[in-house]
Structure 1
Amino acid sequence: MLKYRLISAFILIPAVIAALFWLPPGGFAITTIIVCMLAAWEWGQLSGFSSRNQRVWLAVLCGLLLATMLMVLPEYHHNIHTPLIAGSLWASLIWWCVALLLVFFYPASAALWRNSRILRLVFGFFTIIPFFWGMVVLRSWHYESNHYAGAIWLLYVMFLVWGADSGAYMFGKMFGKHKLAPKVSPGKTWQGFFGGLATSAVISWLFGAWANLDVAASILLVCSLTAALASVLGDLTESMFKREAGIKDSGHLIPGHGGILDRIDSLTAAVPVFVCLLILVFGAI
């Protein structure tokens, strides 16, 4: 299993970085749509759709919806304040606040959505759609003046999430004693949680010092720590849905890593939350 994880990582990481820096906004948007379609395919299983045909249609409908949203918004990447885009990002903040309550009160909270496919699909909608817009908007930010500005910001968020996850793992292994959410994900501890936040804070400081940004260090730190918190919540939320569905992995598309959702669950929360705070709330970039 470790061998497959390492091989997959060596392939995926360069591929992700290449897509960030080499694809133009249109190509990146199409690539993100494909990722979202695969995520929707897997979310179908979390929603209770065991039929392959039903999940295929769910993925197709997701792709058509995202493509339609792109086509009806000419020059979409120049204006994050377009109601459709801004509304999606604000909706993400609301959804992850709701998800926090669902995770906190689990398993009692599951009584509200366990038997409703529609409600679980709605949860998937509020997870995947804002993630798509967060990715596309941040990658395209100021593209006309600097083709790589948005790519660097997006790569930063990814490093932030990966760093928080790695820090949580290491601190949890060394010092973990008190469970963070034992009914949702027994392996996570409070010590790992705070270790991950500390790692994110260090990454934020290093990025601010290295990149010579026009963003105040305090604002970047607040946005980064909030995104790191959201990344943990994204992971816990998917774990909660998988537990209810009785599955270990969301899929088997990535050898040794499970499914697409297993790899992007943290990013589905961190990216839109970070973009919403940094641009819409603070207007920092």
Structure 2
Amino acid sequence: MLKYRLISAFVMIPVVIAALFLLPPAGFAIATLLVCMLAAWEWGQFCGFAARGQRVWLAVLCGLLLAVMLFTLPEYHHTARLPLIEFSLWASLGWWLAALLLVLFYPGSASLWRESKVLRLIFGFLTIVPFFWGMVALRSWHYDSNHYSGAIWLLYVMFLVWGADSGAYIFGKKFGKHKLAPKVSPGKTWQGFIGGLFTAAVIAWLYGTFAKLEVAPVVLLVSSIVAALASVLGDLTESMFKREAGIKDSGNLIPGHGGILDRIDSLTAAVPVFACLLLLVFGTV
């Protein structure tokens, strides 16, 4: 299993970096749309869609929705200050606050949505659609003056999430004693959680100190810590839905890693939350 995980990682990381830096915003948006369609396909399991055809239609509908939203924007839209993007990013903040309550009060909270496929579909779209727009908004940031500015910021968010996840694993392995959310994800501990946040803070401080940014260090630090918190919530939320669906992995598309959602669950929360804070709340457009 470890061998497959390492091979998959060595393949995926260069592909992700190449997509970030080599694709123009339109091409990057299409690539992200395809990833979101695969995520929607896997989310179908959380909604109780056992038939392959139902999940295919869910993926197609998700892709059509994102494509229609994309084509309604002006051709030249390298800004987050458009109603559609703003609404999606603000909706993300609302959804993840609601998801926090669902996780905190699980399994009791499941009684609110367990029997409703419609609610679980809405949860899926509130996870996937803002993630798409967060990716697109960050990639397009300052594209006029520097084609790679947005790519660097997206790569930063990914390193932030991966660093927080690695820090949580190391600290949890070394010092973990008290369970963070035993009814949702028994393997996570408070010590790992704090270690992950500490790692994220160090990454944000180093980046803010040594990189030449147009963003105040305190803005970067606050946005990064909240994004790191959101990444943990994204992971826990997917674990909650998988537990209710009775599955271990969201899919088997990536050997050794599971499905697309298993790889991007933290990013589905961290990316739109980071984009919302940086671009809208602090107004660093």
Check whether TM > 0.5. yes
Identity value in percent? 79
Aligned to 1:28: 28
- Give the corresponding residue for 2:122: 122
CA contact (8 A) 2:79 2:141 kept: no
Q: Which residue of 2 aligns with 1:202?
A: 202
Once the 2 structures are TM-superposed, how far is the Cα of residue 284 of structure 1 from its aligned partner?
Answer: 2.5
| Structure 1 residue 177 corresponds to structure 2 residue 177 | yes
Contact 1:32 1:135 in 2 (8 A): yes
- In the alignment, which residue of structure 2 is the partner of 1:77? 77
Q: What CA distance in whole angstroms lies between the structure 1 residues aligned with 2:103 and 2:50? A: 24
Write the distance in 1 (CA, Å) between the matches of 2:158 and 2:273.
13
1:12 aligns to 2:15 (yes or no) = no
| Secondary structure at the counterpart of residue 253 of structure 2 | coil
Question: Which residues of 2 match residues 107-256 of structure 1 at below 5 A?
Answer: 107-256=107-256
The Cα shift of 1:76 comes to 5.8
Contact 1:77–1:141 (CA under 8 A) maintained in structure 2: no
Which secondary structure state, in structure 2, belongs to the residue aligned with residue 180 of structure 1? strand
Instruction: Work out the CA distance in 2 between the residues paired with 1:253 and 1:77.
Output: 33
Task: State the shift of 1:75 in Å.
Answer: 3.2
Equivalents in 1 of 2:234, 2:281: separation in Å?
Answer: 21
Please state how far the C-alpha of 1:214 moved relative to its aligned partner: 2.2
- In 2, the alpha carbon distance for the partners of 1:219 and 1:120 equals 34
The amino acid of 1:199's aligned partner reads: T
Contact 2:89 2:272 in 1 (8 A): yes
1:44 alignment partner in structure 2: 44
Unaligned 5+ runs, structure 2: none
Question: What is the alpha-carbon root mean square deviation over aligned residues?
Answer: 0.8
**CA shift in 2, pair 1:248/1:76, >3 Å:** farther
2:60 aligned partner, one-letter code: V
Q: 1:242–1:248: 8 Å Cα contact kept in structure 2?
A: yes
- In structure 2, the residue corresponding to 1:77 is in which secondary structure? coil
TM-score of the two chains, using structure 1 as the length reference: 0.99
Q: Is the 8 A contact 2:179 2:187 kept in 1?
A: yes
Q: Unaligned stretches of 5+ in structure 1?
A: none
Q: Number of matched residues?
A: 285
Q: Which amino acid aligns with 2:205?
A: W
Deviations 1:160-215 (A, max 9, x none): 00000000000000000000000000000000000000000010011112212121
Residues 5, 257 of structure 1: 8 Å contact kept: yes
8 Å contact from structure 1 (residues 139, 151) kept in 2: yes
Aligned to 2:96: 96
Q: Contact 2:79/2:140 (CA < 8 Å) preserved in 1?
A: no
After alignment, is 80-89 or 165-174 more displaced?
80-89
- Residue pair 1:77, 1:136 contacting (<8 A) in 2 also: no
- After the TM superposition, which of the residue ranges 188-197 and 68-77 deviates more from structure 2? 68-77
The answer to whether the 8 Å contact 1:47/1:117 transfers is yes
Inter-partner Cα distance in structure 2 for 1:210 and 1:158 = 18
Seen in structure 2, the aligned counterparts of structure 1 residues 38 and 220 have a Cα distance that, compared at 3 Å, is same
Task: State the secondary structure of the residue aligned to 1:258.
Answer: coil
- Using the alignment, how far apart are the partners of 1:258 and 1:213 within structure 2? 36
Q: Residue type of the partner of 2:23?
A: L
Q: 1:79 Cα shift?
A: 2.9
For 2:247, give the aligned amino acid: I
CA contact 2:21–2:148 (8 Å) conserved in 1: yes
- Alignment deviations for residues 24-80 of structure 1 (CA, whole Å, 9 cap, x no partner): 001000000000000000000111100100000000010011011111112363231
Query: How far off is 1:81 after superposition?
Result: 1.7
The residue matched to 2:180 in structure 1 has which SS? strand
